[in-house]
Structure 1
Amino acid sequence: MAEVLSQNEIDALLAALSSGEMDANELKKEETERKVKLYDFKRALRFSKDQIRSLTRIHEIYARLLTTYFSAQLRTFVQINVASVDQLPYDEFIRSIPKMTILNIFEAPPLEGRMVLEINPNIAYAMLDRLLGGQGSTPSKMGALTEIESIVMERVFAKALESFHEAWKQVIDLDPVLEVMEMNPQFMQIVSPNEIVAVISFSTKIGDTTGMINLCLPHVVIEPIMPKLSGQYWFANHKKVRDESERLRLEENLKAAKVPVIAELGNATITVGEFLNLAKGDVIQLDQSIESKLKIKVGEHVKYRGQPGTAKGRLAVLIDEVVEEGEDELE
């Protein structure tokens, strides 16, 4: 990850250049010289940029699904977006989250191992307040959840994992199950401290309350499906393949659809004056001979040709020719 200067560091650098303490030409010279970049073997990168992009796409879908789910559950304005996707040691992830937070530890068979959905206390307590009939405010002092509050929260986040299954289904069919809900990160040791994890951070807004939701995916857990996170695999399998039962249902529904069928005797063009003077017994000459076959249209296109007649005392048309596609355009 590139080093980002703070605003104070930028101001100090500009002041040094203005006063002459630092020479811009020297800086340029140093920039062109070969640099040695330190590599931390404890922080070895396990996810390629391509795989990070795939994780971003998957969890953008998850963010949209969570937005819909929580909006319906809380009956208020909810907005969830992917803020960042990073890879870092598990120990660093634990240090980055609050000492008192909501940790939903879950499994997702057929993958082996545990993952974590961490909810910032501001967001979690705002959700709880809405679910219990409040305005969605956050208490000034946050303590441990009561037994009833824990059950309510567990049910809400267990349902949220159904959206996790939906977001991942184009890659693998997961069956996520909430295992336990914790509040102290120190009691949550799902992998070794140096194990690399992918952390997907969601910026979340519930009414006027904002906070973060973090999803921790250990590399060792999703390693078996890492090849499926390549861009080539993603786009090759993006097209949905319908199963046979779905295809048959679609076919039956299409068969029941009604379409207009018109047997056209012919056409004629007359003036408005002739139309206004028409009377009983007048004859309008059509552009088609009585020996010619009738054009039978389905919608706007000629699909058949046939002969006029009667069937059981009613006017009818006998189809004796099928028009190939594009043939009617040549007429």
Structure 2
Amino acid sequence: MSNILTQSQIDELLNSVKEGAMNEEQLDDEVSSKKIRKYDFHTPKKYTKDRLKLIFSIYENYARVISSYLTSLLRLNFNVELMDVEEQRYYEFNNALNDDDLIALVDTKLSDSEENEQIMVQISNHTMYTMIDRMLGGVGDYEEESATHGFTDIELSIYEVLLKHILPIMKDAWQNYLDLNLEFAKIESNPRLVQTIGSDEIVVIVILSIELNETTGQINICLPGRLLDNVFTFFEKMREVNNKRKTFQDEASPEEILSSIKDSTLEITAKLGEAQVLMKDIYQLKAGDVINLKKPQDSDIYLYIEKKPWFRGKMGTHRGSMAVKINGSVNNQ
């Protein structure tokens, strides 16, 4: 076999090398265009994707509901969408805020827990100015000059009223999973002064995008790690209970089920017959009177188990007491 390449083979080899280099360049361009976040092995993630997916589903429903609610409240076309749910350190969330951002503190606790945690809600200032302008009778336009003076006391009061309107919707979003009590606490005008959460504490940030008229902004909700620990512990307990219940239902045989209920107490009633009597006749009844049940003397009577007929039989006596001899079941009659 000859070890010398032909010209066509050389051209093919050069073309393949050239195409491979182009593919590598394209791959480098694709990698550089994507947002890559380095993984910090010193501070590994605390919550799994399944747990964050639960938070995602709760606030996805919340975004859909408040989008319709704000549209009907302000008569503007609102579009609220859930952008992301991510785990961070609290100082990362706090450092990303501006000094003039407003933070709404919401007292939160589970119904069966005495621990009280605070959720933080931050809405973009220009979005809030637009909504406040609309609530004051304007068309809902945002002017850059109006934001230079900061929020007045009246605007802060309107801000508080608006938050009190959307907080019950957040409670309803959680209600499908657990009973979470939410109550508005206060508005903090300087986010640097909020010290309810440690700087290194793990938090989960829910990011909602909001669009109205030509204004776009965000609603950022900070969920403290201590609250989420209680929430996920509650879900783990519920999951264990459901798994045990399902295992019992799957594995329990009819004999085991009957054995577990055989000591239950049931009421048995023997029904002789029925009769309709006028009130005046009942008023005149006295000892020795006879009521006609309109039933033959030797006919069967019915035994009722918890008010349902199950057996038929004959009246008699047994050891000096009234008794019923069962002749058959009602279904076999």
Q: Shorter-chain TM-score category?
A: 0.5 to 0.7
Q: Which residue of 1 aligns with 2:170?
A: 164
Provide the C-alpha distance between the structure 1 equivalents of 2:41 and 2:82, rounded to a whole number of angstroms.
28
Counterpart secondary structure, 2:144: coil
Counterpart secondary structure, 1:86: strand
Question: Are residues 1:190 and 2:192 paired?
Answer: no
Question: Are residues 1:138 and 2:134 paired?
Answer: no
Question: Are residues 1:224 and 2:234 paired?
Answer: no
- Post-superposition offset of 1:97: 2.5
- Post-superposition offset of 1:112: 2.1
Q: Which residue of 1 aligns with 2:131?
A: 127
Show structure 1 runs of 4+ deviating over 3 A: 21-25, 37-44, 227-230
Q: Which residue of 1 aligns with 2:66?
A: 66
Q: Structure 1 residues 44, 143: closer, same or farther in 2, change over 3 A?
A: farther
- Post-superposition offset of 1:109: 2.5
Q: Is the 8 A contact 1:55 1:229 kept in 2?
A: no
Counterpart secondary structure, 2:159: helix
Question: Are residues 1:153 and 2:159 paired?
Answer: yes
Counterpart secondary structure, 1:107: strand
Q: CA RMSD in A?
A: 3.2
The one-letter code sitting in structure 1 at the alignment partner of 2:43 is R
- Post-superposition offset of 1:65: 1.6
Provide the C-alpha distance between the structure 2 equivalents of 1:128 and 1:43, rounded to a whole number of angstroms.
41
Q: Is the 8 A contact 1:126 1:136 kept in 2?
A: yes
Provide the C-alpha distance between the structure 1 equivalents of 2:94 and 2:195, rounded to a whole number of angstroms.
9
Counterpart secondary structure, 1:149: helix
Counterpart secondary structure, 1:70: helix
1:25-44 to structure 2, matched below 5 A, reads 40=40, 43-44=43-44
Q: Which residue of 2 aligns with 1:180?
A: 186
Report the structure number with the largest CA radius of gyration: 2
Q: Which residue of 1 aligns with 2:302?
A: none
The one-letter code sitting in structure 2 at the alignment partner of 1:47 is Y
Q: Which residue of 2 aligns with 1:259?
A: none
Counterpart secondary structure, 2:227: helix
Counterpart secondary structure, 2:181: coil
Question: Are residues 1:204 and 2:210 paired?
Answer: yes
- Post-superposition offset of 1:120: 0.7
Unaligned runs of 5+ in 1: 1-17, 29-36, 238-331
- Post-superposition offset of 1:190: 2.1
Provide the C-alpha distance between the structure 2 equivalents of 1:23 and 1:64, rounded to a whole number of angstroms.
42
Provide the C-alpha distance between the structure 2 equivalents of 1:40 and 1:94, rounded to a whole number of angstroms.
19
TM-score, normalised with respect to structure 1: 0.57
Q: Which residue of 1 aligns with 2:261?
A: none
Q: Which residue of 2 aligns with 1:278?
A: none
The one-letter code sitting in structure 2 at the alignment partner of 1:58 is I
Q: Deviations over 1:110-156 (max 9, x none)?
A: 35211101101121111111111111122313332111111111011
Q: Structure 1 residues 108, 66: closer, same or farther in 2, change over 3 A?
A: same
Q: Which residue of 1 aligns with 2:104?
A: 104
Q: Deviations over 1:137-185 (max 9, x none)?
A: 2231333211111111101101210011100012221221111112321
Q: Structure 1 residues 23, 71: closer, same or farther in 2, change over 3 A?
A: closer
Q: Is the 8 A contact 2:107 2:119 kept in 1?
A: yes
Q: Deviations over 1:190-227 (max 9, x none)?
A: 21111111001001001211011111001112211114
Question: Are residues 1:93 and 2:93 paired?
Answer: yes
Q: Is the 8 A contact 2:58 2:174 kept in 1?
A: yes
Q: Which residue of 2 aligns with 1:214?
A: 220
Q: Structure 1 residues 22, 41: closer, same or farther in 2, change over 3 A?
A: same
Q: Is the 8 A contact 2:109 2:227 kept in 1?
A: no
Q: Is the 8 A contact 2:56 2:85 kept in 1?
A: yes
Provide the C-alpha distance between the structure 2 equivalents of 1:185 and 1:226, rounded to a whole number of angstroms.
28
The one-letter code sitting in structure 2 at the alignment partner of 1:220 is R
- Post-superposition offset of 1:38: 8.0
Provide the C-alpha distance between the structure 1 equivalents of 2:88 and 2:43, rounded to a whole number of angstroms.
7
- Post-superposition offset of 1:40: 3.7
Q: Structure 1 residues 81, 229: closer, same or farther in 2, change over 3 A?
A: farther
Q: Which residue of 1 aligns with 2:282?
A: none
Q: Which residue of 1 aligns with 2:120?
A: 116
Counterpart secondary structure, 1:204: strand
Unaligned runs of 5+ in 2: 1-17, 29-36, 244-333
Q: Which residue of 2 aligns with 1:245?
A: none
Number of equivalenced pairs: 210
Q: Which residue of 2 aligns with 1:46?
A: 46
TM-score, normalised with respect to structure 2: 0.57
Counterpart secondary structure, 1:176: strand
